[in-house]
Chain A
Amino acid sequence: MKQTPVLEGAFVSDPEPALVGSRCRTCETVAFPASFTCPNPRCAQKDVVATPISRTGRLASWTTVHFPPPPPFVAPDPFEPITVVEVEFASEGIQVVGPLAGASAEGLRMGMAMETVVEPYYSDDSGEVIGWKFRPAEGDADG
């Protein structure tokens, strides 16, 4: 089946799944998704390079969405509530939201280690749309 990333360049699957952002060569600010420039107003250089983000981070918050979002969200019928999590990547100084993979919200607790995976978001006639998700990780977070 044809696979299309939900956002080109925002993640990689090989060798391991990870988010990809941009890092400023001067002030080290990391942005996700990647930007063409540095968002730090006090940084004059603005020269950025693509950078992989740590595979694991810590759970900063979560919520379960009980009513289906509108398009372009593709909701299964019947709709099953989805859980959106916020994961902190301390080494990069950012937190990122994404869907929870492979677990129910029941077992989530603040600060637990979470890892990035790449999974299908939905499929339609033209194939699968894949994107990043987060799931509870074994062991400790990198950051």
Chain B
Amino acid sequence: MGDVIVAGVGLHPWGKFPEKSWVEMGAEVALGAVDDAGMEWTDVEAMVSGAMQWGGSTGMRSGNTIAAALGETGVPIANINNACASGGSLMRAAYAMITSGMHDSVLVIGTDKSPKGYFPSVPVLADEPRPPVDMVRWQVGVPNPAYWALEMRKRMEAYGSTEEHLAQVKVKNSRHGSLNPYARYRKAFTMEQVLASPMVCDPLRLLEICATSDGAAAVVLVSDKKARRLGVSPLVKVAACSLASGEFGDPTIRIPLLAAASDGAATAPLLSESRLAAQMAYEQAGLGPEDMDFVELPDNSSWHELQYLETMGFCGEGEAEKLLDAGETALGGRLPVCPSGGFSSFGEATMAQGILQIVEVTWQLRGTAGARQVEGARKAITEVYGAQANNSACILTT
């Protein structure tokens, strides 16, 4: 099995762009990534693109829509939706297309425009005998951040985590984001400002939960043979690309469900899919958490950042707060977490956020991340978090 190389990346600034369609944003990053790879649009052998639910039927076939805009070349196009784990799932699909020898170059596109506020449910149009649980949970009144808040309160009870820890995650990530010209939010917040922001689902405050954004990102993955032909330098290698789903007996109450195994009956860990995806990635790369120079994890909320440090194996249970307190997860620390500023600074654009992480890691490993550069970065892991237990992790090395 040959190596898979990140030959080119493209990123659109994230924010709200009412005058620009997701098709334009997607086309822009697609061409940006192809150009960055030193290729032409007509050289792309295959495409995978995020099936964007908020864009209706054409959004669900975003790859075809973008190809039609830029000029159809007849290449295979797969549109994939795995909620917030879509970007990682697209990477995995592209990776498999290359390692299988089917293609030498695959363009990976994520473009999305999100509704404001809590993510709503997509209406069910099928004639069904019962309402889906996703409709019932709204009648009960459980928005996505409520699921995270329920876990965070348990964490506070078990480990003595405080509201200040939650705020500190935002303070750190906003400082990172202030250094990133592509981020939506570039203001570095103080602890007092974060703690003064409105409570959304206690203990999680507005500034501790990522916004919903418009954003787009693209990557061109190529075989090592193609990379040599293109003269790609430095070679950023995809050392691992995993995809995992939840395990039976996981005590996490998953969006949009209403129940889970109780702690006493649990036969799988919290966020089983995320733990599994990270383990699979380490195994595939032949590396461990101790080898990583930095990490881009899914900071959908401050709870996520604390929990994923443990879920991804960087510390033991209940120890993430110590890493945070010691400054180890800040730029300049032993293990910078989300040097991009994370989803905290970009907001969620579900089809694109996993690819955003790959773009950031590629820039870091090329040494072109500017003011937020992690010194001497050679190896990094990314992980996303998808509703209903979807997860993907990628390890990039140079």
Q: Are B150 and A131 in contact (CB under 8 A)?
A: no
Tell me the smallest distance from the CB of B11 to a CB of chain A, in Å: 30
- Interface residue SS majority, chain B: mixed
Q: Are A73 and B262 in contact (CB under 8 A)?
A: no
Q: Does A78 have its Cβ within 8 Å of any Cβ on chain B?
A: no
- Closest Cβ neighbor of B131 among chain A residues: A7
- CB-defined contacts of A89 to chain B, threshold 8 Å: 262
Q: Does A112 have its Cβ within 8 Å of any Cβ on chain B?
A: no
Q: Are B139 and A129 in contact (CB under 8 A)?
A: yes
1/0 per residue A21-44: CB within 8 Å of B? 100000000011100000111100
- CB-defined contacts of B262 to chain A, threshold 8 Å: 60, 88-90, 92-95
- CB-defined contacts of B69 to chain A, threshold 8 Å: none
CA of A62 to CA of B150, assembled, Å: 6
Q: Contact size class for A?
A: 35 or more
- CB-defined contacts of B120 to chain A, threshold 8 Å: 70-71
Q: Are A6 and B140 in contact (CB under 8 A)?
A: yes
- Closest Cβ neighbor of A74 among chain B residues: B139
Tell me the smallest distance from the CB of A78 to a CB of chain B, in Å: 15
Tell me the smallest distance from the CB of A95 to a CB of chain B, in Å: 5
CA of A92 to CA of B253, assembled, Å: 16
Q: Are A71 and B136 in contact (CB under 8 A)?
A: no
Q: Are B139 and A131 in contact (CB under 8 A)?
A: yes
Q: Are A84 and B251 in contact (CB under 8 A)?
A: no
- Residue of B139, B143, B263 touching A6 (CB-CB under 8 A): B139
Q: Are B202 and A64 in contact (CB under 8 A)?
A: yes
Q: Does A115 have its Cβ within 8 Å of any Cβ on chain B?
A: no
Q: Does B157 have its Cβ within 8 Å of any Cβ on chain A?
A: yes
- Closest Cβ neighbor of B142 among chain A residues: A84
Q: Are A73 and B150 in contact (CB under 8 A)?
A: no
Q: Are A86 and B253 in contact (CB under 8 A)?
A: yes
CA of A129 to CA of B135, assembled, Å: 13
Q: Are B202 and A63 in contact (CB under 8 A)?
A: yes
Closest A-B pairs by Cβ, 4 of them: A93-B265, A63-B149, A32-B259, A61-B150
The contact sample of 15 A-B pairs, CB cut-off 8 A, is A6-B140, A39-B248, A60-B154, A63-B153, A63-B201, A64-B202, A70-B120, A70-B143, A72-B138, A93-B265, A97-B137, A97-B258, A99-B141, A122-B139, A129-B139
* A-to-B contact residues, CB < 8 Å: 6-8, 10, 21, 31-33, 39-42, 60-67, 69-74, 82, 84, 86, 88-90, 92-99, 105, 110, 121-122, 129, 131
